[in-house]
Structure 1
Amino acid sequence: MLRSRTARLTLISVAIVLVVALVAGVVAAFVVVRRPLPQTSGTLTVPGLTAPVAVTRDARGIPTLTADTSADLFLAQGYVAAQDRFFEMDYRRHVVAGRLSELVGENEDALDADKVIRTFGWYRVATEELETIDPATRAVLEAYTRGVNAYLDGKAPSQIAVEYTVLGLQVDVEAPAPWTEVDSLAWLKAMAWDLRGNYDDELGRARAFSSIRDVAQVDELFPAYPQDVNAPILAEADLTDPTPAAAQARALDLDDIGLQRAVDSAQAALAAVPHLLGDGEGMGSNSWVVSGDLTESGHPLLANDPHLGISAPGIWMQVGLRCREVTDACPYDVSGFSFAGFPGVVIGHNADLAWGLTNLGADVTDFFLERVTDDGTSSVRGNELEPIATRTEVIKVNGGDDVTIEVRETVHGPIVSDVLESDALGDAPLPDGTFGRSYEVALAWTALAPGRTADAVLAIDTAKDAADIARVGRLLDVPSQNIVFATTDGHIGYQAPGRIPLRNDVTGEVPSDGTWPRPGWDPAYDWQGYVDPEDMPRALDPAQGFVVAANQAVTPEGVGPYLTSDWDYGFRSQRIRDVLESHVAAGEKMTVADMGALQVDQHNPYADVLVPALLRLDIDDAFDDDGQDLLRTWDHVQSADSAAAAYFSAVWSTLLTLAFADDLPKDDAPDGGSRWLEVVRELLDEPDSPWWDDRSTPGVVEGRDEVLTRAMVTARLELTQQLGRDAEDWRWGRLHVAAPEHAVLGGDSVPGLVRSLVNPDPVEVGGGSSLVDATAWDASQGYGVTAGPSMRMVVDLGDLDSSTWVNLTGSSGHPASPHYTDQLGPWSKGTTFPWPFTAAATEADADQRLTLEP
């Protein structure tokens, strides 16, 4: 999703033209906007089909496709995806191929994005991947591609999406190029990038050290996972064939690397990469599965809500895919959430098994600092020089001149410090004075080698049991995801998949387990292969009767293979566990409604930690303590209508600024996520810690109580200005607004007339960062929602037709469609919809019927 650091169109001329067009004829404008809406009833001829395919749509426009063969089924899925979402697909493929400038024209941010992605080589890797995936998967991709192109054939851009009409007022817009199988595969690289694990923490440690210059103090800002407070996903007793911990590398000498320069150069380049799923605080997910022993129906229940960026249209496309007769030749009978541009269902259920995914967060990226010769052609490897591979990339710019870049790549990966200039990249002699005068930064990332994630998606669509999920785990290379699953015959389980690097144990000043940048000139720091998929943690039917996977640590410390040190800190997952355990303790059998209610639970763990400390302090002024009074009777529920929630959030944001802004680099202000909750939780027991002191006030040493008091007084003044003098009238929802944005035409640089067409009306929501109702906000940027539940689903394995679901915005990518935003309002209120699955139920629920004929 493109925001301030990525491509936005400056369309002043567009605004003028559109205003004139609208004034000249509202009817003409209405026709232009509605022209791309697809036919969804009656009959259409689709070349390539061998038999008719039925497409029924429910009241929200969600399609269910029924076909005789797998080839026809996926051809039809490609056709329907293009009907509903082709501009989104086209935009994504331009991004992942490093061709955004071809779409939007001369734009500095678009060009920067293209340079970095070409350097990564996502499309090149996807091209190689097409040759390595299973032939059956390739056949599915080919069928899907034929369906997309059948829809595009003969259509002018204005018939496909209104976005092309708008863009055509600024740049040349030609008919979209035919879709290819590689376009689908390359999307998986973008997905893996946004879910890549501890990349931000690795850079964050290095940036913090550049300012603090003390490893121990940096460690205080990245505390260990609190195993004594928040449980991991699996206890040791839950594990199926638990394995011993893999050796961890333990460090490098900070005096032996140009750390500041390395971090600045890498950051300058990688900040340009667009995030199609989202980025930053709030990227995560909730999932849990409950045994039938604990449910009212006697069958398992499974819940999942991935937390991703909020965009218009939303990231997911709901779909049902059904073979009329399920056989080995046509094995699909599956429903759930897919990505427009990729075949199959990514999260959902079939007739035998349901599954949910959450980001495991394994450390699959490392930055290697490289000692490069003066001529830039070789890098140091031990006592020798290793040639640096090079390639030329030509970036075409719509309406502008081509841009040529040279990409260099070491044995560790592409040199990202080549891509964009950084003021910090001045000459600096190496510590030993040899082999040149500068360092470069290479990125090692598991997704830059061909993998089998595409095979995994189709394998999970037909999975029936734990053995099938284990096979999926062996195929799902990147991104590494927690898989929770349940079967209709009563089993529940967990599987951790992923291609996870093994790192050597090296002695030095800071950890070399992947949490800090690594010296590329020392082969001891090279990856030593990957964790054997058979050693990845898994469990079947744990004794406690449920599994909660919400980005927390997977296993107890020291158990199983080393995956990462940078987990979500588990306050959200622990709340889910606590609620489930309270049902068990009370003897209450759980229902679909109970699972849905838990998905929108707004209990605030930050308040549990901080409010007692705030209430112990005295505020003398009657006006200043009005906010504190709200906390005295607050139930710690972060609801949209809560005055106390608004005040507490302002206190939290102010506290982080007062305590840490003076110590950290300008661009590293605390975002307020779970890591910062753990930092503050530990500091509350240290009233005289140096972190409380404001270094900008020489001669004055502040302590904990002074900072907490100042945070409350400052928050009271801030909200008085924003929400009014009477604290009782404040509401969290007035500050905490979800405003999905169109990826290309939704930003502030685009005229308001266009934004009003493509951006849904903002909605007030409750919830917050690290709450179960995870509508995240960045405490350094304001209170608006930065990421949230991109969908919610609850699957009833005893009666699949009793399952529920909701999407963020709607099923359609056309702004003129009623299904562009018809789920946003219900989503914001925590409402879900019935999710029929069986043939009889989907037929009874059908609102429109379309037949695709050969």
Structure 2
Amino acid sequence: MSSSTAVRQENRSVAGLQSPVEVLIDFWGVPHIYASSRRDMFFTQGYIAARDRLWQIDFLRKHRLGKLAKDFGPAMVERDRAARLFAYHGDLEREWASYGPEARSDAKAFVAGINAYVAEVRAGKQPLPEEFKLVGTQPDTWEPVDIVRVRSHALTRNVGSELKRAQVACAAGLAADKLRAPLSASSSTKVPAGLDPCSIPADALRDYRTALNEVTLSPDGKVAALDSDFNFFAETGDFNRNGSNNWAIAPSKTATGRPILANDPHRQYTVPALRYISHINAPGYSAIGANEPFIPGIASGHNGKIAFGYTIFAIDQEDLYVYQTHPAHPNQYRYKDRWEDMRIVTETVEVKGEAPRQVQLKFTRHGPVTYTDPNNHRAYAVRSVWSEPGTSAYLASRIYNTGANWKDFGEALSRWATPTLNFVYADTDGNIGWQVAGLAPVRPNWDGLMPVPGDGRYEWSGFQPLDKLPSQLNPANGFVATANEMNMPADYPNAQRKLGFEFADGSRANRIQSVLAAKAKLTLQDSMALQMDDHNYLAERLTGLLAGVSPTDSSLKAAVTLLREWDKNDSRDSAGAALYQVWTSRHLGRTVVEAVAPKASAIIGSGNLGGIVDYLETSRDKAQRERLLLSSLSDALKDVERLLGPDMRQWAWGKIHRAAFQHPFAAMGHAASREQFSIGSLALGGSGQSPHAASYDSRTFNVTSGASWRMVLDVGEWDNSRAINTPGQSGDPHSPHYRDLFPLWAEGQYIPLLFSRAAVESATNLRMSLSPES
């Protein structure tokens, strides 16, 4: 950054803007928006998001609202039908009211801004993004209701796990399922009365999977296709692949005497990035941080008075219902003592190259029908909070964006429904806090861990109010921290503990809490280092089981020694980390599952590493444990030798563990597309069990998910705050901000998250003056 760098000036007249707006784009591509009204602020936020991310937000809208066939042809008709099942179909007046009195006007302004930019592109005033050119499509205009009708980005969990648990119960009994998805301490489950787990087909969630599947493009770029890998988090809820970290530190434990708040939410890596950083200002409204680019407001950040960040808290917001259908009338299902009609909605799907098609959406009283089995007279539907008003993810963040204290924050979170989160909080008065928020179904007579009959015996009974969910203000230890672990307090009432049972294993949480507790006075640098901390607490537990193991084979003995002496840090130059990760991701789990639950091995696969370690630690058969450890380690040793050569001194985790996430167009057939959209590949440390979250595909070891957005806030001296996005702010491969943050992110570096007007002015690279079109 250099104050002598010439600031570029760009003047634009924008249709729909009501008053002049200044947008200062800093050296890192972050827009700082200064408007004279709330309406123009949100209008400009939408306009600038479209400027930087038009292909991304257009594709997401079409993807999630079932409008892909119009661009990509008949292969997408079934995909569109499934997506429409999970859009919001309820009362729009109640929906808008759920987000506060200004929700509709804010969304209307934001969408008007998107549409203003779309109109400029379609008129040739702004360049058409490369992706549209390659596939021969155009961006669509939005309606305000599009923002609230989208539901499927909310991560509600755990219906995919329910189906898997039923399959495991059928094949090998419920005890075996602990290897796949261990439950929180002291939790157990049973097969619900009236359910035969062996009667549930693997396709029971067919349309759910289809609706949530990622979409990729074929090499010619002309036909879209469903990705064969269903969204892993939605399927299993494995927080070691998709989790998050956050903490807030009280003034008594910081070197400055000011609170520190840190957040690094983890999700699947995408190009462009899932999140977008912006700074929005208008009279009575000033907030900076990140949100998904098609949502108005700031979800993770601060407003100059309070700071806020989040991680997922595992409230279970969905269930799979199983119905008996009428033999002669398959659109009727048994409910209590009668046959009830499914509600059938007919919609029109536009199809490229063909006449529009009519599709039918079927619903039971519980939710969308995801599969019918006419031969066995069964139907399956998903009940989810998505059908409830107010459950469009992150839209309620606008409410706490204007909060001034803990009370305001709590009142805002009383409207928060999805996703279910651990919020951490800090303010300029020195307070810190933690509050769980989200719509929490009350299940009076079951735990939500398995499918249930849809005949009326298993019904939700309202939702837990916010004041019944866990929270903490100004704890005595001087910090709050969460990492998706089971963190309900010991004194939390038993009657309310059925919020959810499938949490992270605690590896990241234990490391974070131990680091924060160990130092009397913590700094911003400490928090940045902790976000990049490679220590693997779960590896301490697992390698501890090798203490009494003495293999006779010299190579295997060397492998055991390497793991014992390894510092348990998944650093990119570590030989021990390379062996450990190959062992645990490709060999250990599969070996244990095949030995312990062979009848369910095809369903469980490699299992959940935390569940595998739990089993090995508690096994009374020490001879079997040693055989499992050594046989799987022997296989892993050969695997690493194939990957990295026979010399252990040359092994390094970062040689195979690489950040190589790609724009969908980088995989297309012609070299020009690959080159212009490519991000590159960089060595990375971390893993799914370390605070430096960097989960990977075990087939390639390429990093697939982790923290695209990191922030560390100096609460009260806001210009000291730091953040990073990856690979860049822009989705335009010709922009200098398309991939500029990627090397900084990979090295654990940050950019300033500037808040004061003076600091922003000093870092401005582009000054955009927007005026109403005359």
Q: How does 1:136-175 map to 2 (within 5 A)?
A: 136-156=102-122, 159-168=127-136, 173=137, 175=138
Q: Is the Cα–Cα contact under 8 Å of residues 54 and 65 in structure 1 kept in the other structure?
A: yes
Q: Secondary structure at the match of 1:397?
A: coil
Q: How does 1:229-378 map to 2 (within 5 A)?
A: 252-253=191-192, 256-274=194-212, 279-280=232-233, 281=238, 282-323=241-282, 330-374=283-327, 375-378=329-332
Percent identity over the alignment is 28
Does structure 1 residue 569 correspond to structure 2 residue 488? Answer: no
Does structure 1 residue 416 correspond to structure 2 residue 370? Answer: yes
The Cα offsets for residues 543-565 of structure 1, whole Å up to 9 and x where unpaired, read as 11111121112313672423111
Does structure 1 residue 405 correspond to structure 2 residue 348? Answer: no
* TM-fit CA distance, 1:401: 5.1
Does structure 1 residue 76 correspond to structure 2 residue 44? Answer: yes
Q: Secondary structure at the match of 1:850?
A: strand
* TM-fit CA distance, 1:344: 1.2
In structure 2, do the counterparts of structure 1 residues 411 and 851 end up closer, same or farther at CA, with 3 Å as the change threshold?
same
Aligned-partner residue type, residue 580 of structure 2: F
Does structure 1 residue 474 correspond to structure 2 residue 414? Answer: yes
Cα distance in 2 between the residues matched to 1:299 and 1:148: 38
Aligned length: 734
Aligned-partner residue type, residue 86 of structure 2: F
- Pick aligned residue for 2:457 from 511, 517, 524: 524
Match of 1:186 in 2: 149
Q: Is the Cα–Cα contact under 8 Å of residues 481 and 513 in structure 2 kept in the other structure?
A: yes
Does structure 1 residue 717 correspond to structure 2 residue 638? Answer: yes
The Cα offsets for residues 549-603 of structure 1, whole Å up to 9 and x where unpaired, read as 21112313672423111111222111110111111xxx3x101000000111101
Aligned-partner residue type, residue 674 of structure 2: R
- Pick aligned residue for 2:624 from 700, 703, 727: 703
Aligned-partner residue type, residue 706 of structure 2: G
Does structure 1 residue 390 correspond to structure 2 residue 344? Answer: yes
Match of 2:161 in 1: 201
Cα distance in 2 between the residues matched to 1:497 and 1:389: 32
Q: Is the Cα–Cα contact under 8 Å of residues 266 and 417 in structure 1 kept in the other structure?
A: yes
In structure 2, do the counterparts of structure 1 residues 638 and 252 end up closer, same or farther at CA, with 3 Å as the change threshold?
closer
Cα distance in 1 between the residues matched to 2:479 and 2:688: 24
Q: Is the Cα–Cα contact under 8 Å of residues 82 and 208 in structure 2 kept in the other structure?
A: yes
- Pick aligned residue for 1:427 from 362, 375, 384: 375
Aligned-partner residue type, residue 448 of structure 1: S
* TM-fit CA distance, 1:79: 1.2
Does structure 1 residue 176 correspond to structure 2 residue 139? Answer: yes
* TM-fit CA distance, 1:143: 1.3
In structure 2, do the counterparts of structure 1 residues 154 and 774 end up closer, same or farther at CA, with 3 Å as the change threshold?
closer
Cα distance in 1 between the residues matched to 2:684 and 2:515: 22
Cα distance in 2 between the residues matched to 1:125 and 1:625: 66
Q: Which range moves more in the overlay, 537-546 or 678-687?
A: 678-687
Aligned-partner residue type, residue 269 of structure 1: D
Cα distance in 2 between the residues matched to 1:250 and 1:642: 40
Does structure 1 residue 92 correspond to structure 2 residue 60? Answer: yes
In structure 2, do the counterparts of structure 1 residues 714 and 132 end up closer, same or farther at CA, with 3 Å as the change threshold?
closer
5+ residue gaps, structure 1: 1-38, 228-247, 324-329, 419-424, 429-437, 506-511, 690-701
* TM-fit CA distance, 1:125: 7.3
Aligned-partner residue type, residue 450 of structure 1: P
Q: Is the Cα–Cα contact under 8 Å of residues 179 and 611 in structure 2 kept in the other structure?
A: no
Q: Is the Cα–Cα contact under 8 Å of residues 127 and 182 in structure 1 kept in the other structure?
A: no
Aligned-partner residue type, residue 601 of structure 1: D
The Cα offsets for residues 242-296 of structure 1, whole Å up to 9 and x where unpaired, read as xxxxxx9975546x33434435122433332345796434212100101000001
Aligned-partner residue type, residue 336 of structure 1: G
Q: Secondary structure at the match of 2:509?
A: helix
Cα distance in 2 between the residues matched to 1:573 and 1:529: 31
* TM-fit CA distance, 1:666: 2.8
Q: Secondary structure at the match of 1:335?
A: strand
Match of 1:440 in 2: 379
Cα distance in 2 between the residues matched to 1:688 and 1:403: 61
Q: How does 1:504-653 map to 2 (within 5 A)?
A: 504-505=444-445, 512-521=446-455, 523-556=456-489, 559-560=492-493, 561=496, 562-583=498-519, 587=520, 589-653=521-585
* TM-fit CA distance, 1:448: 1.4
* TM-fit CA distance, 1:136: 1.4
In structure 2, do the counterparts of structure 1 residues 478 and 813 end up closer, same or farther at CA, with 3 Å as the change threshold?
same
Cα distance in 2 between the residues matched to 1:750 and 1:349: 43
Q: Is the Cα–Cα contact under 8 Å of residues 190 and 275 in structure 1 kept in the other structure?
A: no
Q: Is the Cα–Cα contact under 8 Å of residues 638 and 767 in structure 1 kept in the other structure?
A: yes
Q: How does 1:119-130 map to 2 (within 5 A)?
A: 119-122=85-88, 129-130=95-96
Cα distance in 2 between the residues matched to 1:273 and 1:718: 36
Match of 2:333 in 1: 379
Does structure 1 residue 211 correspond to structure 2 residue 171? Answer: yes
In structure 2, do the counterparts of structure 1 residues 249 and 709 end up closer, same or farther at CA, with 3 Å as the change threshold?
closer
In structure 2, do the counterparts of structure 1 residues 226 and 257 end up closer, same or farther at CA, with 3 Å as the change threshold?
closer
Cα distance in 1 between the residues matched to 2:160 and 2:192: 21
Cα distance in 1 between the residues matched to 2:530 and 2:108: 41
Aligned-partner residue type, residue 548 of structure 2: R
- Pick aligned residue for 2:676 from 734, 757, 773: 757
Aligned-partner residue type, residue 771 of structure 1: S
* TM-fit CA distance, 1:154: 4.2
Match of 1:816 in 2: 734
In structure 2, do the counterparts of structure 1 residues 217 and 713 end up closer, same or farther at CA, with 3 Å as the change threshold?
closer
Q: Secondary structure at the match of 1:625?
A: helix
* TM-fit CA distance, 1:384: 1.8
Cα distance in 2 between the residues matched to 1:105 and 1:260: 38
Aligned-partner residue type, residue 427 of structure 1: N
Cα distance in 1 between the residues matched to 2:705 and 2:179: 26
In structure 2, do the counterparts of structure 1 residues 738 and 731 end up closer, same or farther at CA, with 3 Å as the change threshold?
same
The Cα offsets for residues 176-210 of structure 1, whole Å up to 9 and x where unpaired, read as 332221222234x1221xx2132332222112113
In structure 2, do the counterparts of structure 1 residues 645 and 220 end up closer, same or farther at CA, with 3 Å as the change threshold?
closer
Cα distance in 2 between the residues matched to 1:834 and 1:679: 42
The Cα offsets for residues 711-760 of structure 1, whole Å up to 9 and x where unpaired, read as 12111111111111111101111221222222x4344x654542332231
Q: Is the Cα–Cα contact under 8 Å of residues 289 and 300 in structure 2 kept in the other structure?
A: yes
Aligned-partner residue type, residue 315 of structure 1: L
Cα distance in 1 between the residues matched to 2:491 and 2:357: 50
Match of 1:59 in 2: 27
Cα distance in 2 between the residues matched to 1:489 and 1:217: 50
Cα distance in 2 between the residues matched to 1:518 and 1:253: 6
- Pick aligned residue for 2:389 from 429, 447, 450: 450
Q: Secondary structure at the match of 1:725?
A: coil
- Pick aligned residue for 1:769 from 684, 688, 699: 688
Q: Is the Cα–Cα contact under 8 Å of residues 99 and 396 in structure 2 kept in the other structure?
A: no
Calculate the aligned-residue CA RMSD, in Å: 2.5
In structure 2, do the counterparts of structure 1 residues 142 and 761 end up closer, same or farther at CA, with 3 Å as the change threshold?
same
Q: Is the Cα–Cα contact under 8 Å of residues 61 and 146 in structure 2 kept in the other structure?
A: yes
Q: Secondary structure at the match of 2:200?
A: helix
* TM-fit CA distance, 1:217: 3.3
Q: Is the Cα–Cα contact under 8 Å of residues 287 and 302 in structure 1 kept in the other structure?
A: yes
Q: Which range moves more in the overlay, 709-718 or 592-601?
A: 709-718
TM-score normalised by L of structure 1: 0.82
Q: Secondary structure at the match of 1:41?
A: strand
* TM-fit CA distance, 1:133: 4.5
TM-score normalised by L of structure 2: 0.90
Cα distance in 2 between the residues matched to 1:132 and 1:563: 22
Match of 2:82 in 1: 116
